[in-house]
Amino acid sequence: MTQPEQSPAETEPVLQGPGPEGELRRDEPSADRARGRPSGEARKPIRVSASASLKEDDGDADDGAPLCDPVIVSDAFSLYYGSTVGVEDITMDICPCSATAIIGPSGCGKSTFLRSINRMNDLVPSARAEGRLVVSGVNVYDKRVNLVNLRQQVGMVFQRPNPFPKSIFDNIAFGPRLQGIRRRGDLEELVEQCLRDAALWDEVKDDLRKSALALSGGQQQRLCIARALATRPRVLLMDEPCSALDPIATGRIEELIGQLKPDYTIVIVTHNMQQAARVSDRTAFFCLGKLIEYGLTRQVFTNPHEEETENYITGRFG
Ligand code: ADP
C-alpha cells in the first residue's frame, strides 16, 4: 500500500495503552492539522465540541465551543484503491468514551474509513492514503508505526465472528501472550476480566478449555470482543458487528456496547439506522466517499442539517 510522505523524525512513534502513562502525545496542534488541507479545496472541517454532548437538540459542530480532546483525528484523509475513491477528504474528530456510528448507503466508504484507522487497508495492494489519520497523537500512516502495536491499540471486530480454532481461554490469551504476559495466574486473571467485560464470563466460566468454535454465533462475537479487549486497546472498531446475528444476540451486543462506552472509544459501522440511533452518541453520515454530516446522534436523526442526510434517514435513497 502506498503511504503519504512522512518527514523524518527522531524517535519512533509508539502507540501505547490507556492510562496516564499510556496516553499518547498529541503531537499536532490544530493549526498544524489545518495545514494539511489543500487551500484550493478547503472545506469547513466538521468537528464536534465536547460541550455538544451536554446539549440535547443541537449537536452540530462549529459553535465556537472548545473541542473534546479527540482520540481520533482525521484531517483531510483520503483513501484510494487505484483510481477508485474509497473515502475522500474526511475531516472529523472522534471523542473518547463514546460510541460514534458511521452510516450511509452501500459503497459510500464506511468500511474503508473504519479499516483505515488501524491500517487494515494495507492488505489491499492498490490502496493509497493521503492526508492524516491520527490516533492518540500518532499519525497511523507514519511509516515507522508498528502495525502489530497499532492493531493491539486499535482493536477490530468484524461482521462475522472469527474466533481462532483454539480454546476459549487461548483465544483471549493470544494477544497478551504476544505482548509477553506468560505467568499463568496473570493470564487467568486477564481472561476472566475480559470475558466479564464482554458479558460472556457467566456462560463460559466452566468451559474455558472448550473450542471457541463450539460457541453460538452471538457468543463467538462476544468472545471476539473479549479478545480485542485483552490487549487493552484504546479504540474498538466494529464493522457491522451484528449483521450475522439474530435479534437476541444483536440486543446483547448493543447492550455490551453501552457498557463498554465509558472506557473505550468505539467506532461502529452499521447500515441499520435504528441500531446507530440506539447505540451511538454521535453519528457521521457518509455518501459517495464524502463525510456529509457529523453531529450528535439525536440531532442527525431528528434535525439533520443537510438535505442528503435527511433524504437518507427518511429512506428516500440508500
Ligand atoms: P461501504 O462500507 O460503505 O459499503 P466500502 O468502504 O466497502 O463502502 O467501499 C467504498 C468504495 O471503495 C466502493 O466504491 C468500493 O467498490 C471500493 N472498494 C472497497 N474495497 C475495495 C477494494 N479492496 N478494492 C477496490 N475497491 C474497493
Per-residue pLDDT reduced to its tens digit, 140-153: 999 899 999 999 99
C-beta separation of 77 from 116 below 8 A: yes
Output phi, psi for 149, to 5 deg: -60, -45
Domains of the chain: 30-313 (3.40.50.300)
Q: Which pLDDT value is given to residue 317?
A: 81
Instruction: Using the atom order of ligand 1, give the atom closest to the CA of residue 112.
Output: 6
Residue nearest atom 26 in ligand 1 by C-alpha distance = 81
Name the band, by pLDDT with cuts 50, 70 and 90, for residue 46.
Answer: low
Residue nearest atom 11 in ligand 1 by C-alpha distance = 86
Name the band, by pLDDT with cuts 50, 70 and 90, for residue 68.
Answer: confident
Edge-first strand order for the sheet with 265-269 is: 154-157, 235-239, 265-269, 98-103, 282-287, 290-296
What residues does ligand 1 touch, defined as CB less than 6 Å away? 81, 84, 86, 104, 106-112, 124
Q: Which three cell numbers stand for residue 228?
A: 480485542
Q: Which residue has the cell 466452566?
A: 206
Read off the pLDDT of each residue in 9-29 and give the average, rounded to a whole number: 39
Alpha carbon distance 158, 243 (integer Å) = 9
Residue nearest atom 25 in ligand 1 by C-alpha distance = 81
pTM value is 0.84
Q: Rounded to the nearest 10 degrees, how much is the dihedral formed by the CA atoms of 48, 49, 53, 54?
A: -150
Distance 196 CA to ligand 1 centre (A): 35
Question: Model confidence over 82-133: pLDDT tens digits?
Answer: 999 999 999 999 999 999 999 999 999 999 999 999 999 999 999 999 999 9
